[in-house]
Structure 1
Amino acid sequence: MFEAPPIWFILLAFLAAIGPLVFIHEFGHYIVGRWFGIGAETFSIGFGREVAGWTDKRGTRWKVGWLPLGGYVRFTGDMDPASMGKDLDKLPEHERLRAFHAKPVWQRALVVFAGPAFNFLTAILIFAAFIMAFGSPRTPPVIEEVLAGSPAAQAGIRPGDRIVALDGEPIERFDAIADFATLRPGEQVELTVQRGSTTFTATPRLATIVEKDRFGQQSRRGQLGVGNRSVRLEPVPVLEIIPEAVSMTVRLVDATATGLWQIVSGRRPLAELGGPIKMAQVAGQVASLGPLEFVQLLAFFSINLGFINLLPVPMLDGGHLALYAVEAVRRRPLEARAQEWLFRGGLAALLTLMMVATFNDLGSIGLWQTLGRLLG
């Protein structure tokens, strides 16, 4: 078991991870806004009091805030936190022409979508670099080993069988089986199995495995109980590298969505929801393993950042996109009061989510157990 890295190393790794990803996200908004002729007043990495910054020749203030948990671009005409575009008529005419909310709704939507899109693009480029350097798993989903007493054995799966679909979704690679099972501990799943010229369906209930990682952190995962000794990384033709990287990114987005839905629907405990403290802990642990592992983690973090921001919650990019969709259908935006109430509801939801995640994070580092021992 590895020793946990020191606090200073964890904080440094967290800043090294979250800082560039937030910059990439906000730069996506910024650069697409620039293409559409929108002025930018502030580009901030972090919130709160400015600790460093400068103003460029276009008048944009680039700054770093003391609280490195996000960032923002304030475009010309963005005069309220809800980004509703009120009081545009109070701007001088030359600024009104460059105002965000004076642009067509499709341009505003592209500017907003660009942030998450740049995060996904970052992950794609990282995965493409790894595929180019090391190859990609392309082993067919053929079973070579079946663990005695496992759900697969109980369902009648044998060595030589080929799993062609999981819950009705076709698969082509062996690693897809583990990815699928990991997210579904204790759940009954449907396997479509090919044995020679015969195809049949099996419905095992996956085992629940509780295991510790090399740093002693516990996690739950599902297990089918099959193996393939031939799993390896294979070279990928140059023209297939980007499509392969896109496919990996899509699979991870799907896994993120599945995990979140399981928490929302009660199939996974709310205690598995993590926040910034957990991210910092993971960043420090992975950074201590080496630069390649850390860069790979950046891809996972980038996907999570892009995905979370696309959720249809006011204040997040997805919430703005939902409002723009309504505006496009109605040919006019929602009334300011309705947007304000949606903004307040979104803020309350995000604060609640942050409190729950922070509570879980503090538990994951043993704070509640320590307090219990002290008070007991």
Structure 2
Amino acid sequence: MTGFLGQALLYIVPFLLVLTFIVTIHELGHFLVARAFGVKIDRFSIGFGKTIVGRTDRHGTEWRIAWLPLGGYVKFSGDLDASSVPDQAGLAELRQRVIAEHGPGAERDYFHFKPIWQRALIVAAGPAANFLLALVLLTALFMALGELIAPPRVGLVTPGSPAAEAGFQRGDMIRTVNGRAVDESADVTEIVILSANDPVRFTVDRAGQVVSLVATPVRQVEQNAIAGRVQVARIGLRMEPLRSDYRYRRLNPFEAAGKATERIGAVLTSTVTYLGRIFAGKESGDLLNGPLGIAKAAGGITQQSAAASSDPGLSALNVLINLVQFAALVSIGIGFVNLLPIPVLDGGHLLFYGYEAVARRPVPARVQEVGYRVGLALLAGLMLFATWNDLQKNGLFTFLGGLA
């Protein structure tokens, strides 16, 4: 029983810490921009449920920490409906109530009566804060650790695999994939994973000679300590750079920020590509993950990082580094999901504001209600699908490593 509780805490605690931190930053993005525009804010909460500790600042905003650490929220004054985008009648009613309670002109401090561009910036500030957080975390990691480049040199070709049939040989150095120059093993792996059943063109350097090869990745079931059982596209290569192949360089703050920006762009591009392949029927969605998968990954990363060294100090440092990188990736994901044009998300609000800017009136209440219900159904369906994936494979991460 004690062992079970220990394992549960190992997975749950890192997940809650990472999730609460990221969501708090997301909500802080909304809060700071709203405060800059003079919006009246009732509450900023870290966690949900009953208040553990709280205080009210000079602006009348209640700051509190609640007992359920599953994120947080910011509540603007006048937020009555679930969509936070009242229609024309709702705005008129809210205006009358505010004027009756606080006098003429008080409505100008309320979110819903701010200009559209200000409301749009406040809404977009949440996802923007997530991307900024990822940028800061990754920049700090690159500054602290530098950049270690592991070139894609072929160390092993699996007999009978697509790579073997294509003519790959041990010692080949992969230079381009589908015309794109690659510098690291992970670059090759990422392209292969997103190309199941599609021919992939390679250019390799074989003892000074340029050789062109074509291999078609096939899905195979893999079991990983963190990923669990997943289907991943492979061609049957293992990258094993020689000691002389590795390159390391320190990065100044500008170089680190550039590298971090590049990494964020790569993650977003891969995400959009993968989702596009799902809608095109080329992927099963097996790599989509929900809360269970993220919790499993957080715990697995913590466990493996701690076991990497017998020195307690080095183990703690390793855990911190890997959780920071993990938090950056999750923050990118949360920022991206919130920008989807689904009414219950920030992207849906931006969609409504776009309509309002063109039509010069808010979206009708009936349309908002339908959109809200459809949005909830879409999110619920996506969550159920992702949770089903989590339960099936019992994990999350597919480490790129040197596999292709």
What TM-score range do you get, normalising by the shorter chain? 0.7 to 0.9
Deviation (angstroms), 1:28: 0.4
1:175-225 deviation digits (Å, cap 9, x = unpaired): 3112222344x3223325266999886542114343322358223322342
SS at match of 1:257: helix
| Partner of residue 192 from structure 2, selected from 181, 185, 193 | 181
Summarize the alignment of residues 298-337 of structure 1 with structure 2, pairs less than 5 Å apart.
298-337=327-366
Matched, 1:128 2:143: no
Asked if the contact 1:283/1:294 (under 8 Å) is kept, the reply is: yes
Distance in 1, matches of 2:275 and 2:63, equals 34
Amino acid in the other structure paired with 2:28: F
Match of 1:80 in 2: 81
TM-score, normalisation: structure 2? 0.79
- Paired amino acid for 1:112: V
Q: List aligned pairs for 1:96-175, cutoff 5 A.
A: 96-138=107-149, 143-145=153-155, 147-149=157-159, 150-157=161-168, 159-160=171-172, 162-166=174-178, 169=180, 171-175=182-186
CA contact (8 A) 1:146 1:152 kept: no
SS at match of 2:59: coil
Contact 1:136/1:233, CA 8 A, preserved across alignment = yes
Equivalent position amino acid for 1:163 in 2: R
Which consecutive residues of structure 2, in runs of 5 or more, have no partner in the other structure?
306-318, 396-404
Alignment partner, residue 370 of structure 1? none
CA distance 1:271–1:164, shift in 2 (3 Å): closer
After TM superposition, give the deviation of residue 235 of structure 1 in Å: 2.5
Task: Say which SS state the counterpart of residue 236 (structure 1) adopts.
Answer: coil
Alignment of 1:210-221 (within 5 A): 210-214=221-225, 217-221=228-232
Q: Which of these residues, 233, 246, 249, is aligned with residue 261 of structure 2?
A: 246
Give the percent of matched residue pairs that are identical in Structure 1 and Structure 2: 35
Corresponding residue for residue 13 of structure 1? 14
Using the TM superposition, give the Cα deviation of residue 161 of structure 1 relative to its aligned residue in structure 2, in angstroms: 5.5
Q: How many residues align?
A: 361
Is residue 285 of structure 1 aligned with residue 300 of structure 2?
yes
Q: Deviations over 1:159-180 (max 9, x none)?
A: 55643343x5554544311222
Matched, 1:38 2:39: yes
The residue aligned with 1:191 is 201
Q: After the TM superposition, which of the residue ranges 298-307 and 60-69 deviates more from structure 2?
A: 60-69
Kindly state the Cα deviation for residue 278 of structure 1 after the two structures are TM-superposed. 2.0
Aligned with 2:271 (options 256, 274, 280): 256
3-state SS of the aligned residue for 1:212? strand
CA distance in 2, matches of 1:147, 1:300: 31
**More displaced stretch, 16-25 vs 252-261:** 252-261
Q: 1:208 aligns with which of 193, 201, 219?
A: 219
Distance 1:330 1:199 in 2: 59
Structure 1 residues without counterparts, runs of 5 or longer: 367-376
| Alpha carbons 2:157, 2:168 under 8 Å: kept | no
Matched AA of 1:351: A
Secondary structure of residue in 1 paired with 2:64:
strand
Does the 8 Å contact 1:323/1:334 carry over to 2? yes
Instruction: Confirm or deny: 8 A CA contact 1:163 1:191 kept in the other structure.
Output: no
Displacement of 1:274:
2.3
> Partner of 2:386 in structure 1?
357
Distance 1:46 1:361, change over 3 A: farther
- Counterparts of 2:60 and 2:390 in 1: how far apart (Å)? 40
| 342-351 or 60-69: bigger deviation | 60-69
Q: Residues 189 and 76 of structure 1: is their aligned pair in 2 closer, same or farther, counting only changes over 3 Å?
A: farther
Instruction: Tell me the distance in 1 between the aligned counterparts of 2:177 and 2:151.
Output: 12
Distance 1:271 1:127 in 2: 27
Q: Which residue of 1 aligns with 2:95?
A: 89
Task: Tell me the SS of whatever aligns to 1:32.
Answer: helix
CA deviation map 1:230-254 (0-9, x unaligned): 2454323443111111101111122
Which one has more relative contact order, counting CA pairs under 8 Å at least 6 apart?
2
Which one-letter code corresponds to 1:279 in the other structure? I
CA contact (8 A) 2:230 2:393 kept: no
**Aligned with 1:15: secondary structure?**
helix
**8 Å Cα contact 2:137/2:324 also seen in 1:** yes
Rounded Cα–Cα distance in structure 2 between residues aligned with 1:248 and 1:16: 23
**Deviation of the 1:137 alpha carbon:** 4.1
Q: Distance in 2 between matches of 1:231 and 1:325?
A: 50
Secondary structure of the structure 1 residue equivalent to 2:75 = strand
TM-score by length of 1: 0.84
Conserved 8 A contact 1:146-1:153: no
Question: What's the offset of the Cα at 1:294?
Answer: 1.5
Residue type of the alignment partner of 1:313: I
Aligned to 1:55: 56
Deviates more, 1:32-41 or 1:225-234: 225-234
Q: Kindly indicate whether the alpha-carbon contact (under 8 Å) linking 1:174 and 1:231 is maintained by their aligned counterparts in 2.
A: no
Residue aligned with 1:81, SS: coil
> In 2 relative to 1, CA 169–318 (structure 1 residues): closer, same or farther, beyond 3 Å?
farther
Superposition CA RMSD, Å: 3.0
Provide closer, same or farther for how the CA distance between residues 323 and 233 of structure 1 changes in structure 2, counting only shifts above 3 A: farther
**What CA distance in whole angstroms lies between the structure 2 residues aligned with 1:165 and 1:55?**
57
